[in-house]
Amino acid sequence: MNRSLSGRYIGRFAPSPTGPLHAGSLLAALASWLDARAHGGRWLVRIEDLDAPRCITGMDAEILRQLAACGLHSDAPPLYQSSRDRAYAEALAQLDTAGWVYPCGCTRKDVDDALAAAGATHERHRERVYPGTCRPERGGLAGKPARSIRMRTACDGQPVVIAWHDRRLGAMTQDVAREVGDFVLRRADGLWAYQLAVVVDDGWQGITHVVRGEDLADNTPRQILLQRALGLPTPAYLHTPLVLGPDGEKLSKQNGATPLDVRDPLAALRTAGMALRIATAGRTVGEWLAGAVAVWRDQWVA
Ligand code: GLU
């Protein structure tokens, strides 16, 4: 049974400690917190610190400090993905036993060459759709050393099409094989890929509702595919509008997002609230949040 139907709500905010919160990430944090509170549920913070080379020492504490200044406190001590190695290895072993994964020996250049040879021009988000070169039925590694581990996006030769519902975006569908291709679960540098870690942890933490930025919506079909392959329930999804930078792209460190100034948390919350169409009175953080929960409940909770 989908746990969201059982009346128990567990939501989460899952920042990567690669930089401080900015206006865009506060919006995702606030939306997930409001949804949890509007449902009378729990809200957990998960520190997604798997990509060690990109993580900045002490940034986890800084993010938690920024959240706390805005009145957003995790209902349990934060879970650190860097402590979850064994869980990811077990999930990978389970997928392997069920025949969902295979080792891949391709470099980026190998993938480019294979795509060029096939006359394929389908680039997506400037990324390559993996052409399946190392699938066992196509000869496997063929003598190359294994680099990464990939998840199949076709089952018994049939492409997996994932149809799903987003609470804000409505009916969504993706032919994962055609639009993404077999995707990496363990990277060539030995690190666990975001897709695997997020699914294993959402499952282990009993997350019933995922509320996050719309830029991540495109990952959802891959995550649903993994949930199904691992026998995990699929949470309800709501992808929020993004805060855009001056170049019209998602606000990020790259296009000039400044760290959230939490000396005036009320101003930061009001700005995030505007993007969520929440205007509410409140002279303190606590008052503002209480008003925002009521507005959110009317907007998003039946
Ligand atoms: N760690 C991801 C990020 O900071 C978010 C993951 C998620 O919410 O699923 O973009």
Distance 213 CA to ligand 1 centre (A): 8
- Which residues have C-beta within 8 Å of that of residue 80, sequence separation ≥ 6? 46, 47, 49, 60
The pLDDT of 273-288, averaged and rounded, is 94
Q: What is the pLDDT, as a whole number, of residue 244?
A: 78
Q: Which two tokens stand for residue 64?
A: 């938690």
**Tens-place pLDDT, residues 44-78:** 999 999 999 999 999 999 999 999 999 999 999 99
Residue nearest to atom 7 of ligand 1 (CA): 14
Ligand 1 atom at minimum distance from 219 CA: 9
**Is the predicted pLDDT of residue 183 greater than 90, yes or no?**
yes
Best of 10, 13, 16 to mutate for ligand 1, by most ligand atoms within 8 A of CB? 16
**Tens-place pLDDT, residues 17-48:** 999 999 999 999 999 999 999 999 999 999 99
> How many angstroms separate the CA atoms of 3 and 242, rounded?
28
**Is the predicted pLDDT of residue 140 greater than 70, yes or no?**
yes
The pLDDT of 226-246, averaged and rounded, is 93
- Which residues have C-beta within 8 Å of that of residue 57, sequence separation ≥ 6? none
Confidence of residue 5 (pLDDT cuts 50, 70, 90): very low
pTM of the model: 0.93
Distance 155 CA to ligand 1 centre (A): 27
> How many angstroms separate the CA atoms of 167 and 74, rounded?
23
Confidence of residue 251 (pLDDT cuts 50, 70, 90): confident
